[in-house]
Structure 1
Amino acid sequence: MKISVERTGGIAAITRVWTVEATSESAMNQWQPLVEACPWDTVPRTPGAAAREFADAQPDRFIYSIRAGGRRAALPERAVTGPWRVLVDSARAAAEQERPAGNGTGSTGG
């Protein structure tokens, strides 16, 4: 399973992408519960839909586009809480741990 978190927006409008490739059984056992804990069916799937649903979102804040297998979600920074925060932070940490120095993206296998 491929897990990807893309963060766009912010004051500098810099896009960051963190990618995790859970290919082994142990990696799937680690990532599957994090993915399953997120309420995928209750949030927008695209940044445009997120912008409409969260029209009161604060300017210059991040928007997160999250993909895990065939699932997609898009959330403003303030809505990345609970299981979403755990998934985003875990993917970011895992990707940054495996990322070559100076590269803006990362991936990790298991």
Structure 2
Amino acid sequence: MVRSGGFAGIRVTWEVRVDDQPDRAEWFELVESLPWDDAPSAPPGEPDRYIYRITCEPHEVVLPERQLDGPWRTLVDRVRERARRSPQPEPGASPSPPSGPGRGPTATPDV
């Protein structure tokens, strides 16, 4: 899951590998319950607002924060609580090493 936008325009990625979770059956149930085909279409960008790109192969949806409700809000909150977090450098910038608890390199997100 990637959140971009906001006042500073910082891009943040959270990753959860569902297969590695002790409650993976609950994760699969949540992901399967999401209305992937009925997700609201993202309106044109709004200044200083967050946009979430949620990917769970083969699905992907882009939602503005104000449209995160119901199961989408549940997923976002749960991923942010459980996941590793890492800011993404701007293109062409030298990446800085992760620091702080729970931070580490990111890979292709499962959720």
How does the TM-score come out when normalised to structure 1? 0.70
Q: Secondary structure at the match of 2:7?
A: coil
How does the TM-score come out when normalised to structure 2? 0.70
1:87 aligns with 2:83: no
CA contact (8 A) 1:18 1:95 kept: yes
Instruction: Report the AA paired with residue 42 of structure 1.
Output: D
Number of matched pairs: 94
More helix by share: 1
Return the offset for 1:37. Answer: 2.0
After TM superposition, the structure 1 = structure 2 runs for residues 16-55 of structure 1, keeping only pairs within 5 Å, are 16-24=12-20, 26-43=22-39, 50=42, 54-55=43-44
The percent of aligned pairs where both chains have the same amino acid is 38
Specify whether residues 18 and 105 from structure 1 end up closer, same or farther in structure 2 by C-alpha distance, changes over 3 A only.
Answer: farther
Q: Secondary structure at the match of 1:23?
A: helix
Return the offset for 1:88. Answer: 0.6
The list of structure 1 runs, each at least 4 consecutive aligned residues, that deviate by more than 6 angstroms after superposition, is: 104-107
Gaps of 5+ in 2: 86-97
Which of 7, 12, 30 lines up with 1:11 in the alignment?
A: 7
Over the aligned positions, Cα root-mean-square deviation in angstroms equals: 2.8
